[in-house]
Chains A and B, each alone.
Chain A
Amino acid sequence: MFKSMLIKEFLLVIRDKHALAALFVMPAVFILIMSLALKDVFNEQKAMLSLAIVDQDSSETSQEFISSIQGNKLINSKLLNVDDHKGVDQQNVQFLILILEGYEQEENKQLQIQVASDVSQTVLLLFKAQMMQIIMQQKLASLHSLQQSRAQQMGFDIPDAVDINENDIMNIQYAKLSADEKPTSTQQSVPSWIVFGLFFVIIPMSTIFISERKQNTLMRLSTMNITIPALFAGKIIPYMIINQLQVWLMIAVGMYIVPLFGADALTIGGSVTALIVISFALSLAAIGLSILIATVVDSVEQATTIGGILNVLLGAIGGVMVPKFVMPEFMQEFANISPMSWGLEGFLDLFLRKGNLSDVLNEVLALTLFGLVLLFIAAIIFNIKIRKVS
């Protein structure tokens, strides 16, 4: 019996181009795009600030300041002519630094800085920190050279200033990763889009289920002694297999396709068994939600609209669209109501934190319980509806 149901569901999904696009193409494309778009987020060598400089002072101090900026790997800079009066927006940079005449001579002469209107607070803070670092080093160097010349006048030597390198004073290591490992955009984006993609079974599943209900195929199956649990099992098993195909296809995209476009390849750091277990649990949650929607709504149009909206909402709340770590604290708490968040946390434990089964057990239990409760509610509603139709 299940073999027949399995073959039937596979044939119906394979022949539905929209379903194939939603289940396999869309998440794979998302993984590719997001991995490439975010590939520099974890790249410390990548310039993150862009600025233009107008040097009206043309002094030794201003030249030193400019060369320090030009030597900073986090900053892309360009030097403008003094008669260039275009503002920061026209220069197509984030910041415009104007070094006024008298910068070297007058102690309280401020740098004039224009900030582009689309610069975030985080970028502004980073800019300030970099400027402070450059100016402080300049001031320290000047103080040191003053002390050196005074010491020479007094007939003794003091040692040269030591260059301060961040690697000499800080050892940065990501939790649960080895010393030379860093999280990559691929490790971050693949779990998100696996979770999102799995929930897209809502569309083909509810479409087929509603058609079966509308055409009285389900009623016919009831007269053939097919019980509601058997009927639901006949849906759950094929879609769990389809979900597994999705998971491994998306992992393959992350491992083999994404690197072809210059982004980092995905690696499965954690336990593969745990990965299979959590993807089955997530699958059960997605299928439970799909069957509930399919039993509650009355048309395919309603199912695709409600299913689509719900998917995007759960994704947005659950940290798929915007990572949870950039959300404010109350939103991070709120994100926990979304089953996508539970699934995502589980996948991140495995992909990012090299976790094992015990690390994802809470997520597995929560997702399984969520799926079972929804299936139970769906069975009750379905039973009432099929009796009404009869």
Chain B
Amino acid sequence: MIKIDKLCKSYGEKKALDNLCLDIKANSIFGLLGPNGAGKTTLISILNGLTTFDSGQIQIFDKPLSKYIKDIRQRCSLIPQSLAFYDNLSVKENLDFFAGIQKIATATAKKNIGYAIEINRLDSMLKQKAATLSGGQKRRLNIAIGLLNNPDILFFDEPTVGIDPESRNEILDTIRSFKQDNKCVIYTSHYMPEIEKICDQVAIINAGQIIKQGDICSMLEREMGNQLIIELYETPIAVLQECCELFSLLTVINSSCLQLASKKPEYISQALSLLENNNVKIKQVNYANTNLESIFINLTSKGR
């Protein structure tokens, strides 16, 4: 659905995107992760035609973005992080305005407004001024406006900032439901548990480049599959460091914990023997419990 090839964008001397390549498939919820200044916002702005790019190719719906920007925009929607609507208009007036300014047939607009209201559970507050809505309700209105053109691709830029956990879960459920409606969601957030919860594909972007991309489950499995945690009784760090020097797959985590970067039986046996020979008392051995956050931190902290 979205194909990006060798995309480059610079602001003066600073490279915001550096030969970035990305492939986002239809009917998926795609998480875009990256530290501040990594290039996420620039990428989203380019994909929405708000910023130009220096070189590279972007194809959306198999059409080059530069040439078919207006057509592509009609099938996409950006839900910005800020609450981009009018506080002094009611919920219904906001929806009518944003539907009215887009070239949508009246009957279709009516249907789309109905869908946006229903899926965001806004029916009971249609006459309420947007300014008087709660934080979660405002976020839902922000999303509802993005649905008025019945888009095939939805870009979410941190849509749950500053709201309570209950409202956040409601919004995440709504976003998850878009997959059932055959929509593609590109989701950027700093909340890793959110990404883990709703996304099926993820790309980690750092310094304008994609440094990891793939299916979340297999990415987690791969990271977990290669690691064991050996819990110990309190041992002097110097002793543990000596063991690690003798066996390179071992890493000291702290004075009562070591990490073994393999789960092959022969390596486990070697590691345990070495520890026993050095009078290190073992409590238990567990699979490492990793998550997206630790992968993200591990990857993005490299090279700093």
Contact = CB atoms under 8 A, between A and B. Distances in A.
Nearest to B71: A225
Nearest 4 pairs of A and B residues by beta carbon: A4-B100, A390-B50, A390-B45, A220-B84
A222 B84 CA distance: 12
Given A220-B84, A225-B74, A1 B50 contact: no
Main secondary structure of the interface of B (DSSP, over half): loop
Nearest to A386: B50
A223 B51 contact: no
B67 interface: no
Nearest to B11: A388
A215 interface: yes
Interface stretch (B28-36, B75-83, B158-166, B246-254): B75-83
A217 B84 contact: yes
B101 A222 contact: no
A217 B86 contact: yes
A224 B98 contact: yes
Contacts of B51: 387, 390
Range for the number of chain A residues in contact with chain B: 20 to 34
Interface string A4-24: 110110011001100000000
A85 interface: no
A203 to B, nearest CB: 15
B97 A8 contact: yes
Contacts of A222: 49-50
Given A7-B97, A8-B89, A219-B50, A224 B102 contact: yes
A225 B102 contact: yes
B89 A216 contact: no
A177 interface: no
A11 B74 CA distance: 27
Contacts of A268: none
A3 interface: yes
Interface in B85-110: 85-89, 93, 96-103
Interface string A208-240: 000100111101111111100000001000000
A388 to B, nearest CB: 9
B101 A1 contact: yes
A254 to B, nearest CB: 32
Contacts of A386: 50
Contacts of B83: 215
A216 B80 contact: yes
Nearest to B89: A11
A386 B45 CA distance: 11
B103 A1 contact: yes
B73 A12 contact: no
Given A1-B103, A387-B50, A12 B89 contact: yes
Interface string A57-72: 0000000000000000
Interface of B: 45, 48-51, 70, 73-74, 76-78, 80, 82-89, 93, 96-103, 145, 149
A223 B100 contact: no
B157 to A, nearest CB: 10
Contact of A12 (B88, B98, B102): B88
22 contacts: A1-B101, A1-B103, A4-B100, A5-B101, A8-B97, A11-B93, A215-B83, A215-B85, A216-B82, A217-B85, A219-B84, A222-B50, A223-B50, A223-B76, A223-B77, A224-B101, A224-B149, A225-B73, A234-B101, A386-B50, A390-B45, A390-B51
Contacts of B73: 223-225
Contacts of A12: 86, 88-89
A215 B78 contact: no
A387 B51 CA distance: 6
A225 B74 CA distance: 8
A224 B151 CA distance: 11
B100 A1 contact: yes
B88 to A, nearest CB: 5
Contact of A16 (B88, B102, B103): B88
Given A16-B88, A390-B51, A3 B100 contact: yes
A223 B78 contact: yes
Given A4-B96, A4-B97, A223-B50, A215 B84 contact: yes
B302 to A, nearest CB: 29
